[in-house]
């Protein structure tokens, strides 16, 4: 009897996997996929921010889960999904196009699904990324390098985090110097923290916490603190974002830095980058 139940459960599992595979299969007929314009509200918008990060934005008039397939020719080859990952469909979609170069033209197709399982897909088309902002139009992260030296947190060892949403959203993403990656918690909200090891005691003159956020307004850190070597705590400081990193003066010497969210809009809080700067002559 036990063996029979196990066999039944195994068959059900295989059946479920088969259904998912069938739903995701590229062999679906045209009659099963509807035009994306049926749920689209406004044009596809392609942009490059001050950090050189390429993005695609689109709004749908119904809640949907979306992604974009893109590449240098009609075979495409890259597939990137909506940054929002709060467990459900939504209407404002933003996708980072990792590796896309400003000024180049690419082929693309956007696809999405709605809660009743209906699939939508846009026709094959092209977009040309604008050049990255320069001069007065460019943002430098809100601080002047003349006020400080190198970011000593880049490449630091992550000792502990409050949680991670998944392996793709690990704490190491917050110290990799890459503005296209993020550390995201699994609903830690105001309890989020990340603890890093600089490798040896270092003189620090300022810190930054560049918050991640989601299009529904959640996951945005507004204030944070920094505790040094389990001792003195500095802050709270206002958290920054990719256009204004909100450099905060904080002078101390330490090796283990614990960045803690002091206030947020809740949800999957985390950081694109956390930073700790050496003196200008360091």
Does 182 have pLDDT greater than 60? yes
Strand 33-35 relative to strand 119-121, pairing: parallel
Does 27 have pLDDT greater than 70? no
> In angstroms, rounded to a whole number, what is the distance separating the alpha carbons of residues 271 and 159?
15
Structural domain spans, the chain: 30-128, 145-277
pLDDT in tens, 145-172: 457 899 999 999 999 999 999 998 999 9
pLDDT in tens, 264-276: 999 999 999 999 9
pLDDT in tens, 257-266: 999 999 999 9
Give the E-state strand segments of 212-247 in sequence order: 221-228, 233-238
pLDDT in tens, 195-211: 999 999 999 999 999 99
pLDDT given for residue 86 in this prediction: 54
Q: What angle do CA 198, 238, 148 make, to 5 degrees?
A: 45
Domain 30-128 has CATH 3.10.105.10: no
pLDDT band with cut points at 50, 70 and 90 for residue 100? confident
pLDDT given for residue 222 in this prediction: 95
pLDDT given for residue 273 in this prediction: 95
> In angstroms, rounded to a whole number, what is the distance separating the alpha carbons of residues 235 and 231?
13
Neighbours of 115 (CB within 10 A): 11
Does 143 have pLDDT greater than 60? no
CATH of 145-277, picked from 2.60.120.260, 3.30.420.480, 3.40.50.1100, 1.10.1740.10, is 2.60.120.260
Q: To the nearest 10°, the Cα dihedral for 196, 243, 149, 176?
A: 40
Q: How far is CA 196 from CA 171, 230, 250, in A?
A: 9, 12, 17
> In angstroms, rounded to a whole number, what is the distance separating the alpha carbons of residues 253 and 234?
12
Q: Which residues pair with 61 in a beta bridge?
A: none
Three-state SS sequence of 75-131: CCCEEEECCCCCCCCEEEEEEECCCCCCCCEEEEEEEEECCCCCEEECCCEEEECCC
Q: How far is CA 38 from CA 41, 95, 114, 129, in A?
A: 9, 20, 12, 25
Contacting residues for 239 by C-beta, under 8 A, at least 6 apart = 209, 210, 211, 220, 221, 222, 223, 224, 246
Q: Are 155 and 227 in contact (CB under 8 A)?
A: no
């Amino acid at each position: 009897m036990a063996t029979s139940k196990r066999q039944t459960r195994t068959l059900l599992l295989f059946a479920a996997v088969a259904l998912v595979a069938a739903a995701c299969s590229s062999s679906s007929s045209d009659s099963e996929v509807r035009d994306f314009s049926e749920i689209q509200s406004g044009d596809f918008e392609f942009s490059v921010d001050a950090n050189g990060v390429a993005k695609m934005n689109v709004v749908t008039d119904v809640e949907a889960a979306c992604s974009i397939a893109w590449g240098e020719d009609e075979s495409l080859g890259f597939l990137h999904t909506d940054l929002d990952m709060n467990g459900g469909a939504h209407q404002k979609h933003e996708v980072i196009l990792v590796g896309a170069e400003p000024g180049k033209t690419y082929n693309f197709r956007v696809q999405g699904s709605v809660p009743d399982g209906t699939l939508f897909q846009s026709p094959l088309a092209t977009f040309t990324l604008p050049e990255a902002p320069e001069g007065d139009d460019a943002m430098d992260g809100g601080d002047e390098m003349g006020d400080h030296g190198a970011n000593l947190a880049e490449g630091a060892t992550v000792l502990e985090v409050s949680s991670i949403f998944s392996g793709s959203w690990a704490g190491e993403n917050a110290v990799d110097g890459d503005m296209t990656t993020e550390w995201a918690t699994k609903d830690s909200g105001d309890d989020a923290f990340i603890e890093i090891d600089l490798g040896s005691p270092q003189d620090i003159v300022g810190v930054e916490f560049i918050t991640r956020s989601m299009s529904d307004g959640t996951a945005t850190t507004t204030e944070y603190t920094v505790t040094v070597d389990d001792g003195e705590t500095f802050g709270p400081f206002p958290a920054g974002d990719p256009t204004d990193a909100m450099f905060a003066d904080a002078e101390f010497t330490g090796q283990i830095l614990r960045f803690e969210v002091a206030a947020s809009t809740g949800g999957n809080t985390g950081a694109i980058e956390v930073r700790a700067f050496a003196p200008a002559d360091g």
